[in-house]
Structure 1
Amino acid sequence: MRRMILTSSLLLALSASAMASQVYKWVDAQGGTHFGAQPPQGQQATTINTAAPPPKTAEPTAAPIFESIADPEQTAIDEKVKREIATQEAERKKYCQTVRTNLAQLENNPRVRVEVDGEVRRLNEEERQQRINEARQAIGENCK
């Protein structure tokens, strides 16, 4: 059961980058800006990177004067990106909590049992140490 949780947690963490897709932006003949998952036929489109969050700054920057006259499309896109980043951060925190819990159980319990193909068996010390190392590595790479 714990192995299934650890495996599914790792897959969940790795699946965020696999689910990210390209977004294309183009302007039609009437001057309207469009966004889509597929570029239009016969028109030039630019790709937009939606997976990368904006870089963190040390101190807040002054807001531009024209911010109050923001483009509604851009505002909607900004809100969408903020929601996606918040969702990814929540998934990362949940993953980190699960991995830390699994690590604590592996370190504190020398008699860990796992279910493999419907059969419950006990991990030997070598397998247990390997899983401890994998959990520590996952925490080091993904958790702050």
Structure 2
Amino acid sequence: MRRMILTSSLLLALSTSAMASQVYKWVDEQGVTHFGSQPPQGQQATSVNTSTAQPKTTTPPPPAPTFDSVADPKQAEYDEKVKKEVAHTEAELRKFCDSMRSNLAQLNNNPRVEFEVNGEVRRMTEEERQKQINDAKKSISENCK
């Protein structure tokens, strides 16, 4: 069965180039343009190129001009300040994500979670535990990579 499908597919793919025949174009006495696979008897006919044209490649647009922060010391100062703020924010986000993943692992693996409310220790109900699991998953999917 596979051999038959493979053979049929191969023949179909090759048949398109075999079916592509020469096309002729001519204009009759009334000025009407005709196309055909055979040139007419006793008339001048031109051969038409039926192959598809390759798409023209375009050159990419020139890159946008960049601002040279080295030329402006004030800008370089702001750039450095922002880089430090971004690095600090990313470090805090990593710490938050690690904490959330740890909490989620605790909630998933420990059905008997206890917590303190107003100085009193109590066990979390299954509904509370499932809500905390869902909240942790949502927070991780929204904030962590």
TM-score (norm 2): 0.53
Residues 1-54 of structure 1, C-alpha deviations (whole Å, 9 max, x = no match): xxxxxxxxxxxxxxxxxxxxxxxxxxxxxxxxxxxxxxxxxxxxxxxxxxxxxx
Q: Is the 8 A contact 2:114 2:123 kept in 1?
A: yes
Unaligned ranges ≥5, structure 2: 1-62
Match of 1:137 in 2: 138
**Count of residue correspondences:** 83
Aligned counterparts of 1:131 and 1:89: Cα–Cα separation in 2: 25
Match of 1:110 in 2: 111
Unaligned ranges ≥5, structure 1: 1-60
Match of 1:85 in 2: 86
Q: Is the 8 A contact 2:70 2:76 kept in 1?
A: no
Deviation (angstroms), 1:117:
1.1
Aligned counterparts of 1:101 and 1:74: Cα–Cα separation in 2: 41
Q: Secondary structure at 1:115's aligned position in 2? A: strand
Aligned counterparts of 1:71 and 1:84: Cα–Cα separation in 2: 20
Q: Percent identity?
A: 60
Question: Stretches of 4+ moved more than 2 A in 1?
Answer: 61-64, 66-69
RMSD, matched Cα: 2.0
Residues 42-84 of structure 1, C-alpha deviations (whole Å, 9 max, x = no match): xxxxxxxxxxxxxxxxxxx8995x7375211100000000000
Q: Secondary structure at 2:122's aligned position in 1? A: strand
Q: Secondary structure at 1:67's aligned position in 2? A: coil
Amino acid at match of 2:68: E
Amino acid at match of 2:121: V
TM-score (norm 1): 0.53
CA 1:75–1:134 in structure 2 vs 1: closer, same or farther (change >3 Å)? same
Aligned counterparts of 1:62 and 1:111: Cα–Cα separation in 2: 59
Q: Is the 8 A contact 2:69 2:76 kept in 1?
A: no
The correspondence of residues 14-93 of structure 1 with structure 2, limited to 5 A, is 64=66, 67=68, 69-93=70-94
Larger radius of gyration between Structure 1 and Structure 2: 2
Amino acid at match of 1:111: R
